Structure 1
Amino acid sequence: MRARALVAVVALGAALLTACGENSERDASQQPQGARLRVTIGTQEFPEALVLGELWRQALAVNGYTVNLRKAVGPAEDLDQALRDGEVDGYVAYTGTVLSIVAGEEVSGLDPEQTYDAVRDYYEGQDMVVSEQTPFENKDAIAVADAFAEENRLTSIADLADLDSFVLGARPEFEDLQLGLAGLQEVYGLDNAQFVPAQLGDQYAMLDDGDADAVDAFTTDPQLSGGRYTLLDDPELLFGSQNVVMVVDQGKLDSIDSEAFMNVIDTVNSELSEDAMVEMNAEVTDGRSEVDVARSFLRRVGLMTPLRS
């Protein structure tokens, strides 16, 4: 009698273990395969790139992926090489920089879609995939004080040619760059510009102090959050286009649920407007960590919960 009872208990236990095993396998199969893999994403070491890396890392983590964010890999060419060498699985990339620095192609005159298509074509056949691009760009621009723009009716870089002269402040190398003063003179006829070299980061102080009438800026500079400066339009696209994408290794995508992975990246990217990036950059500049800034943004746009497949 006791033996029969023991056999029954063992049989029941085996059945329960089998059922638990089946449930575990079923639960695991419903998770992205990347939940059991580590994905390494590379970035450069400046606030915006770190914020972008954190946005992707946290959104992927919410959706079951384990992400190692590798910071300070280096400039675009170093990130590209790290991807090819298998040191990272994907990286934060600016389309115009990839096209000009990595691919060695011309960027001036290309709009965002043309630049994106050229980058995607470049990586096609090289076992690399490019995500959808962000709505925002971070590229060179010419900024002036709001009062100066209003006084001189400036809306475009081309309008500067109507001034008798103006002082242009920018980093020293800007003077001889085609994507700098040399290009501004050639494309917009700005031979009336008096160039004054400035340290990167000092441009806005030059505007405030009256030491420059116009300065080289970047379109997502945190200083632009204060509403005191005007970015002049670049109708000839001298400075090209600089939207953000993830460039990711095809082999890594093949080893995980590639559709789910790219859906997370593309969904995050679609939320990144210029105003949103300026605001996040300003928060980091003011001392808030990129981890907290990214988390707050993802929570605000509803991406701190798993995406529906």
Structure 2
Amino acid sequence: MSRNSKLTPLIGTAAAAVLLLTACGGGGGESPNEGMLDGVDLTAGSKEFTESVVLSQITSKALEDAGASIEDQTGISGSATVREALESDEVDFYWDYTGTGWVNILGNTTEDVPDDLFEAVSEADADNGIAWLDPAPFENTYRIAVKNDFAESNGLETMSDAAKFISDNEDQGKVCAASEFVNRDDGLPGLEEAYGFEFSDVVELDLNLIYPQVGKKCQFGEVFSTDARIKANDMTVLEDDKDFFVQYQGSMTLRQDTLDEHPEIAEIMDPISEKLTNEVMMELNGRVDTDGEMPEDVAEEWLEDQGLIGG
């Protein structure tokens, strides 16, 4: 079977839609950061998946509440593309992950990962003129998942279980995955090498289409560990028992010159990042992906509920 079959073309991202959002405060209530960024113009970026957009909307709402005007260019397709947009001044900030920084941006391997990955990434990327603000406590890691009933009937709990199963049952070894995961060293190629197997077929899909296709077009699927659609689609996440996947702790990234010019950004974001736990991110992601709410509405309501912006 072909390892590059495609079910459907990738869905266009929201990057084409650029909205200029004006600073309007928090809607009448007292703002904890009122006036700190008056007159500052910034452009928000994000990757195309829900969590990245939600995080950027949270940041945008908080900076707007402090007086900034934010141009919205969220939804850029691909890690390399949004990083290039940051480096070339097309966007001023977006959220990235330590694993992505270590492997894809800095060019390291998934082996010999330092104990304090955030410190290593932030120090190394400083040479590129990019600042990583203090990370949030959540970690959104790549995982492989299957339907609950498929896992139970075939005794699948770990990736080692899956590797043996696929080697013995090639007709049931198809994986649905997004193009980025298929091509990243810390994604599919490295995973197969670490566990000594190959999926019998790879179906490339837009990330948002993977979850409903597991159990239909594919037995296995790429997922993110904080994605609420795992539970909504009755899926079992397979344990990475060989610890292949690198830690993916979330952090806001921006150019160092932007941070030097507006150090208030870090002061505003610190108490926000501290509250972004795995549970919080899964809830916020679920409100978008499962409940159909808009990311900007979810972000604003959460910030108001936490007393982090004016209400």
Per the TM superposition, whether the score is higher than 0.5 is yes
Give the match for residue 28 of structure 2.
none
Mapped contact 2:131–2:255 kept (Cα < 8 A):
yes
The gaps in structure 2 that reach 5 residues or longer are 1-32
- Judge conservation of contact 2:34–2:65 (CA < 8 Å) in 1: no
Cα deviation digits, residues 120-167 of structure 1 (max 9, x gap): 022224443211122223332110222333444443212324544352
Classify 1:44/1:202 alpha carbon distance in 2 versus 1 (closer, same or farther; 3 Å): closer
Which position in structure 2 is the counterpart of 1:171? 177
1:267-303 superposed Cα distances (whole Å, 9 cap, x missing partner): 2222223333233233323432111111122233332
Q: Does 1:71 align with 2:78?
A: no
Higher helix share: 1
- Alpha-carbon displacement from aligned partner over 1:15-61 (angstroms, at most 9, x marks no partner): xxxxxxxxxxxxxxx96542232233322344322211110111223
Answering whether residue 284 of structure 2 is matched by residue 277 of structure 1, we say: no
- Matched letter for residue 243 of structure 1: Q
Structure 2 letter corresponding to 1:281: N
Check conservation: 1:175, 1:195, Cα contact below 8 A.
no
Q: Percent identity over the alignment? A: 27
Aligned-partner SS, 2:222: strand
CA RMSD of aligned residues (A): 3.2
Q: Distance in 1 between matches of 2:77 and 2:188?
A: 26
Q: 1:299 to 1:101 in 2, by over 3 A?
A: same
In structure 2, the residue matched to 1:230 is 236
- 1:57-206 to structure 2, matched below 5 A, reads 57-73=60-76, 75-107=78-110, 110=113, 114-163=116-165, 164-165=168-169, 166-171=172-177, 178-190=185-197, 193-197=199-203, 199-200=205-206, 201-206=208-213
TM-score w.r.t. the length of structure 2 is 0.72
- Residue 223 of structure 1 deviates from its aligned partner by 1.7
For the 8 Å contact 1:169–1:212, the answer to whether it is kept is yes
CA offsets 1:173-208 (integer angstroms, 9 cap, x no match) = 6677644554334322336x5335353444434444
1:107–1:241 contact (8 Å) kept in structure 2:
no
TM norm structure 1: 0.73
Q: Please give the secondary structure, in 2, of the residue aligned with 1:36.
A: coil
- Alpha-carbon spacing, 1:150–1:270, altered in 2? closer, same or farther (3 Å): farther
